[in-house]
Amino acid sequence: MPHDEMMELASRRSAQTIDVLIVDDHPLFRDGLKRALEFEDDIRVVGQCQDGPEALAAARLLHPDVILLDVNLPEMNGLQVARQIRAENQRISVIVLTAYHDSQQVMHAMRAGAAAYCAKDVMPDDLVRTIRTVADGNYVVDDRVMSYDELQQWMSVSLGSMPSYIVDGEEHFVPLSPRELEILDFVTNGMSNKEIAVRLRISQQTVKNHMTSILKKLNVQDRTQAAVTALRHGWVRIRDNSGDNRR
């Protein structure tokens, strides 16, 4: 957000309550967030939603200042929702909440228009502080408060270290970590979890944990779908069995 708009928001927030919309498909988690925020005099929960379409409709109707948005939602994922909300109303600040926290996911969230990215086990005081910070037009990445210009600089530097691929002339960034790509490469070439564990000198449980993360990030149901997705995007390739040349 440009500096002048950020200053306008800050001055307006100082005299107003921050209206918050909670979007999560787990009722208990939504209720827990609502109860935690009810203790704050300057924060008001104006609605709760369980999926993306509901969130988009509520954002248009309620015009919240801040949306707490789960990244894993039915029908539309949280990043798709964030992108659409920001396209329709840039004055809404989106805080993405997730159980999985890594640098690639943070980058995808910020590129989708999020103002902050928090793990779901965030302490209530830290979440409240983040809500107030983004409501003032700032951004929060790894506990660091940034202006719009600082965020753009951070993303420019961070993107340089992320693997990417080109589709129809447009650059896309791989949502998997280097280790996850390595494991998915082995999976695509027919290796079992046990064989991968031996090859990488890690435990089978560690391989299973990585596979769980891969399936989550790619939004697929099994190893075969993950392999097809990776091959389609060119992240991995089938190797010649006569040799051991990789990528």
**Both 40 and 70 in a single domain?**
yes
Is the domain of 12 the same as that of 134?
yes
End residue of a domain, out of 105, 140, 158? 158
The parent domain of residue 80 ranges over: 3-158
* 176-209 pLDDT, tens digit each: 777 888 899 999 999 999 999 999 999 999 999 9
Predicted local confidence at residue 157, as pLDDT? 75
Q: pLDDT tens digits for 202-246? A: 999 999 999 998 898 888 899 999 988 888 766 777 766 544 444
pTM: 0.64
Does 34 map to a domain?
yes
User: Using an 8 Å Cβ cutoff, are 196 and 207 in contact?
Assistant: yes
Closest to 82 measured CA to CA, from 101, 100, 66: 66
**Mean local confidence (pLDDT), 88-117:** 85
Residue 241 inside a domain? The answer is no
**Count of domains in the chain?**
2
